[in-house]
Amino acid sequence: MSERNSERTLPPKRTGLPVLGSAVSFGRDPYAFYDDVASHGDVVRFSMGTHDMVGVLDPDAIEEVLVEKFDSFRKPERAGGVDVLSDGLLLADGERWQTQRTRLQPLFYRERIENYAETMATYAAAMAEERAATPEAVDLTEATSTYTLRVLGKTLLGVDTDEHRRAVRAGAEAIRERSSQNPVSVDLPDWLPTPGNRRYRRGVEQLETVVDDLVAETEPDGDGEDILSTLVTASERSDEGPTESELRSQLITFLFAGHETSATALTWALYELGRKPAVADRLYAEVDDIVDGATATLADLPDLTYTKQVLRETLRRYPPAAAIFREADEDVVVGEYRVPADTFVVLPQFYVHTDDRWWTDPDRFDPSRWDGIEEPPGDRPEYSYFPFGGGPRHCIGMRFARMELTLALATIAGHCRVTHDRDDVTVDVGSTVHPGEPIRATFSGRE
C-alpha cells in the first residue's frame, strides 16, 4: 500500500443489527436500505452477514472501480455461492479470464452480430404470431425467455435449444434464486440439505446434462462460427484450450447470462407498454412508419429512435443485472476513502439509476427523457447509467443484446398490441431486477 493510501480514512459506516448486519433491512426494502446508506455519503461501509462491504453510489467513484483502478479489484471468490459458473467468463479472474475473453471476443464483433439480425427478428415475428393466435393470456417472462433462449441457441451457440428449454429454464431459475439469496444464507455450506441447496443442485444438474449433451453432439472440426464449436475445438486441439470443467462452466455461463437478462428487459419493456398507452402509441407510430411489413430488419435499426429510447429507459428503471460486485485485491482509494484489501465493493445500478441527483422524477418510466440524447447518459456523469457495466469487464453480449431487444420490440409492436391487467408489479431486486409477481399478458393482432 502506498503511503498516500494509508493516510486516507475508511469510508463512513452505516451500522446495522449485530451478526446479520444489513442483510435484514436490505431484504425488506433494497431501495430504502440504500437511501439509508446514501444518507452517510457516496462511499459507505456496512456489514452484510459476515462480510464487510462498501457501497459506492457516486458515478465518478464507480468509474474508478470499473475502469481506472480495474487492476486493484477481482471478482468476489464465492460470488453468491454459484459454483457452477465459477470457471466461466462471468466469474473467472486474472489470466484465466483474459484468455477466455480474448478467445471469445471475436464472436461478438459487429460484423458477426449483424448476421444474426434476421434470426432475431424472424423469431420475434413467430413468437408474436403464435401468441396472437391464442386468445388466452400468457406469462410474459415465460414468453420472453423462450424467445431469447431460442435466439441464443440458433445464433451464438449454433444449436436448437427448444428440446432443452425446460431444463435450461429450471437451471437459470436455480442460479438466479441462489445468487439472490442474502449473503447470510449463502455462507451456509453448500452440502447442507437445506431446501434452497436442494433446489439449486436439482436445477444445476439439469443444466449440466444439457451441456454434456450439446458438447457430445458437437464435432471438434468447428470453424469457430459459434461459441460451442469454438470452445469444443479449442479444448480438443490445444493444451491451452479449456479443460472439461471450464468448458461446462463456460457453456452454462452463456446459457444463463445470454438469455435471462435480455428476457427480463423485454418483459419489463412489454409490461410498461401495456400500462402506458401514450408510450405504446408513440412506439406503434414509429414502427408503422419505419418498418416495412411488420418484421424489423437490420436496415431499420438506425431509424428506430423511439424504440431504442424505450429500451434505454427500461434498462435505466429496471437494470437486469441489479448490481455489480468486486473484491479489493489490495488497499485502494475510492473517492476520498481507503478501501482495505479483501473488502467487498458493491455498485448498485438499480439505485444509482434512480438517484434523483441525476434523474428527474426517477421512478417514472418515461422514454421521452431520452429525446435528442444520442449517447446515454446525456449531460450526466457517465456512470450514472451503466446497465452493461464498464471497463474491461463490460458485458461481452452488450451489442448482441441491444440489437436483439430493438429488433424484438419493434417486430412485436409491428404485429401485436400487448396488454395486461397489472399496474402495480413489485420490483424485486435480487441478483437481477425482475417482476415480483407474474404478469399475464394478451397479444392481439393489430389489424
Of 144, 145, 179, 261, the residue at the interface with ligand HEM (CB under 6 A) is 261
Q: Please say whether the beta carbons of 230 and 112 come within 8 A.
A: no
Pick 156 or 429: Cβ nearer ligand HEM: 156
| C-alpha cell read off for 169 | 429454464
Q: Using the rule CB under 6 A, give the single segment among 7-15, 120-128, 201-209, 387-395 that binds ligand HEM.
A: 387-395
Binding track over 13-52 against ligand HEM, x by CB under 6 A? ----------------------------------------
Between 124 and 294, CB nearer to ligand HEM: 124
Q: Which of these, 306, 373, 321, lies nearest to 352 by C-alpha position?
A: 321
Of these, 132, 140, 234, 324, which contacts ligand HEM (CB under 6 A)?
A: 324
**Inter-residue contact 418 to 442 (CB < 8 Å):** yes
Cα 290 off chain centre by? 29
Instruction: State which residue, 175 or 265, has the beta carbon closest to ligand HEM.
Output: 265
Report the C-alpha gap between 111 and 353 in whole angstroms. 31
Q: How many residues bind ligand HEM (CB under 6 A)?
A: 23
Residue 307, CA distances (Å) to 5, 72, 264, 296, 405 in order: 46, 38, 17, 11, 9
Q: Dig out the grid coordinates for 55 from the structure.
A: 457501497
Residue (234 or 257) nearer to ligand HEM, CB: 257
**Amino acid at site 13:** K
Q: Does 74 bind ligand HEM (CB under 6 A)?
A: no
The closest alpha carbon to 59, from 397, 298, 353, belongs to 353
If one asks whether residue 157 binds ligand HEM (CB under 6 A), the answer comes out as: no
- 389 belongs to the binding site for ligand HEM (CB under 6 A): yes
Nearest to 430 by CA among 196, 135, 253: 196
Q: Which amino acid is at 228?
A: L
320 binding ligand HEM? (CB under 6 A): yes
Neighbours of 150 (CB within 10 A): 21
Residue 78 makes contact with ligand HEM by CB under 6 A:
no
Q: Is 388 in the site for ligand HEM (CB under 6 A)?
A: yes
Residue (97 or 294) nearer to ligand HEM, CB: 97
Site string for ligand HEM, 393-412 (x = CB under 6 A): x-xxx--xx-----------
Shortest Å distance, C-beta 395 to ligand HEM: 3
What's the sign of the alpha-carbon dihedral 175, 181, 186, 192?
A: negative
Determine if residue 367 is left, alpha or beta; phi over 0 gives left, psi from -120 to 50 gives alpha, anything else beta.
alpha
CB-nearer residue toward ligand HEM: 261 or 384: 261
The residues of the shown chain that bind ligand HEM, judged by CB under 6 A, are 89-90, 101, 156, 253-254, 257-258, 261-262, 265, 320-321, 324, 387-389, 393, 395-397, 400-401
